[in-house]
């Protein structure tokens, strides 16, 4: 199988939301926002990331991308709104998992579902994925609504990612059917 190109040629946008590569100048936002109580409650992000750690991580990712990670921004202003990624332990399976978080100021505005749709369209078209999965805590209703608004269907359960947490709800999305 060909090597996956995990960095798109250009940012992806729907005119309202844009997905672009993380830049070194975004490190303060990322470090600050991952400390948010809701992000800590629902994700596996480390509790206290320093700007320096985020900058180092971004530099490693740019040099050798192992997953497709994007800043979610407001299309008109490039203001940062969140993070979204596709990850896979083995890209040759053509199955990846989507993950995301949205900064508190942008929650409830449809940014996460718009970003998830953009990410999935790109993953199917450019990476040739055959399935995208998403797991979330069963009590994380905003994330479940995001998945469903982006076209994902509940597909079962998955083991918890952090000790002491409940099993997760598994969602999946298949590529759109090709026209005859």
Quick: pLDDT tens for 9-63.
789 999 999 999 999 999 999 999 988 888 888 887 888 888 888 989 888 877 7
Residue 147's contacts (CB-CB under 8 Å, 6 or more residues apart) are: 116, 134, 136, 171
The pLDDT, as a whole number, for residue 1 is 37
Quick: pLDDT tens for 100-116.
999 999 999 999 999 99
Q: If you compute the radius of gyration of the chain from its CA atoms, what whole number of angstroms results?
A: 16
Q: Can you give the residue ranges of every domain in the chain? A: 12-173
Phi, psi of 112 (to 5 degrees): -70, -40
The pair of structure tokens assigned to 59 is 């530099």
Strands (E), the chain: 12-13, 17-20, 68-74, 80-87, 95-102, 131-136, 153-158, 168-173
- Looking at domain 12-173, its CATH class is alpha beta
Q: Looking at the predicted structure, is the pLDDT value of residue 2 above 50?
A: no
**Interatomic CA distance for residues 140 and 22, integer angstroms:** 26
Q: Are 68 and 85 in contact (CB under 8 A)?
A: yes
């Amino acid at each position: 199988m060909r090597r996956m190109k995990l960095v798109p040629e250009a940012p992806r946008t729907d005119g309202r939301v844009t997905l672009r590569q993380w830049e070194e100048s975004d490190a303060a936002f990322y470090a600050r926002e991952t400390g948010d109580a809701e992000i800590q409650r629902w994700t596996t992000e480390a509790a206290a990331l320093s700007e320096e750690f985020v900058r180092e991580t971004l530099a490693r990712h740019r040099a050798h991308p192992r997953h497709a990670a994007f800043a979610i921004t407001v299309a008109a202003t490039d203001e940062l709104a969140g993070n979204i990624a596709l990850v896979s332990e083995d890209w040759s399976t053509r199955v990846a998992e989507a993950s995301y978080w949205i900064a508190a100021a942008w929650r409830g505005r449809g940014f996460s579902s718009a970003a998830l749709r953009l990410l999935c369209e790109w993953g199917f078209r450019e990476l040739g994925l055959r399935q995208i999965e998403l797991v979330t805590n069963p009590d994380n209703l905003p994330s479940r609504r995001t998945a469903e608004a982006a076209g994902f269907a509940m597909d079962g359960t998955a083991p918890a990612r952090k000790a002491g947490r409940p099993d997760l709800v598994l969602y999946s999305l298949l590529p759109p059917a090709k026209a005859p």
